[in-house]
Amino acid sequence: MDFDTELKQTVRRMYDAAARKSGGLLSRVPLNRGRELLAGLGYRPSEFEQLPKKVIEFAFPCGNPLPTIRKLRPESILDLGCGSGLDVGILAADRRRTIKMIIGVDFSRELLAVGRRLQAGPAAGRLQFLQADLTALPFSGTHFDCISLNGSFNVIYHKAEFLQHVAALLPPGGHLLINDLMLREDLPPGFTAELTNWTWNVAGALFPEALTSMAAKASLSLVHFYEHEQIPPVCRGEVLLWKKK
């Protein structure tokens, strides 16, 4: 089995196991979870407390894309690696917004089962979920004003190819928003060869400059890079890219 396939299998099993509470790789990672994690990332209790408890419990965001998405005022959003549906659930429940369609995609059947509970709530009607591999998306055409990845970009192994595919789903002027860990120092030699170093988004982290130049080859230009928190050798960051007109 090649590295890419093995990585996908490991990550999918890890998140399925996390949603079943059976632990897996996750049990060894000392992470904040639930309300504490979300509040620390700047999610407002008034928006996440309305979600089903399991959506909060099984959310693993790397950042908070909501303030940026709100500023962009998109009509259609694709959340790649939506997990239990945290971001899509909050956005779809907000009736004041112009959003007409939100699709969350993930390959974890168990996390999607949690997310689908949102379709019975105030988000019903404009929220859909799809189980698929982010590197083999069943879409063609440019249906999405905004594509967001919150914690899923770094576990993609072939990033340049992936950016090309994703850029093809954006109309000119559309936005790609990535919240993930970014490199601030070189990783130790041999680090990226270990599969387990990929699963929690560290081995797949890029320097912001490397991501920007990879994105430029997919006709995506940098709008902003925010560094939210230093966690050497990485930082938690947000990159907003714009498809050239």
Which residues lie near ligand SAM (CB under 6 A)?
8, 11-12, 15, 59-62, 81-84, 86-87, 106-108, 111, 133-135, 150-152, 155
- Contact between 109 and 82 under an 8 Å Cβ cutoff? The reply is no
| In the complex, minimum distance from the CB of residue 236 to ligand SAM, in angstroms, rounded to a whole number | 12
The CA distance from 156 to 162, in Å, is 8
| In the complex, minimum distance from the CB of residue 68 to ligand SAM, in angstroms, rounded to a whole number | 14
For β-strands 101-106 and 127-131, DSSP reports them as parallel
Q: Based on CB atoms, which residue is closest to ligand SAM, 15 or 144?
A: 15
Q: Based on CB atoms, which residue is closest to ligand SAM, 59 or 169?
A: 59
| In the complex, minimum distance from the CB of residue 54 to ligand SAM, in angstroms, rounded to a whole number | 12
| In the complex, minimum distance from the CB of residue 150 to ligand SAM, in angstroms, rounded to a whole number | 4
Q: Based on CB atoms, which residue is closest to ligand SAM, 11 or 167?
A: 11
Q: For the purposes of burial, counting CB atoms within 10 Å of the CB of 87, is it exposed (0-12), middle (13-18) or buried (19 or more)? A: buried
| In the complex, minimum distance from the CB of residue 58 to ligand SAM, in angstroms, rounded to a whole number | 7
Length of the chain: 245
For β-strands 76-80 and 101-106, DSSP reports them as parallel
Enclosing H/E stretch for 13: helix 3-19
Query: Hey, which residues does 176 pair with through a beta bridge?
Result: 147, 241
Q: Based on CB atoms, which residue is closest to ligand SAM, 168 or 216?
A: 168
Q: Based on CB atoms, which residue is closest to ligand SAM, 76 or 150?
A: 150
| In the complex, minimum distance from the CB of residue 172 to ligand SAM, in angstroms, rounded to a whole number | 26
| In the complex, minimum distance from the CB of residue 107 to ligand SAM, in angstroms, rounded to a whole number | 4
Q: Based on CB atoms, which residue is closest to ligand SAM, 115 or 174?
A: 115
Enclosing H/E stretch for 111: helix 109-115
Of 26, 140, 29, 122, which is closest to residue 83 (Cα–Cα)?
26
What is the amino acid identity at position 242? Answer: W
What is the amino acid identity at position 129? Answer: F
Q: Which DSSP string corresponds to 15-52?
A: HHHHHTT--GGGGGS----HHHHHHHTT--HHHHTTS-
Q: Based on CB atoms, which residue is closest to ligand SAM, 131 or 221?
A: 131
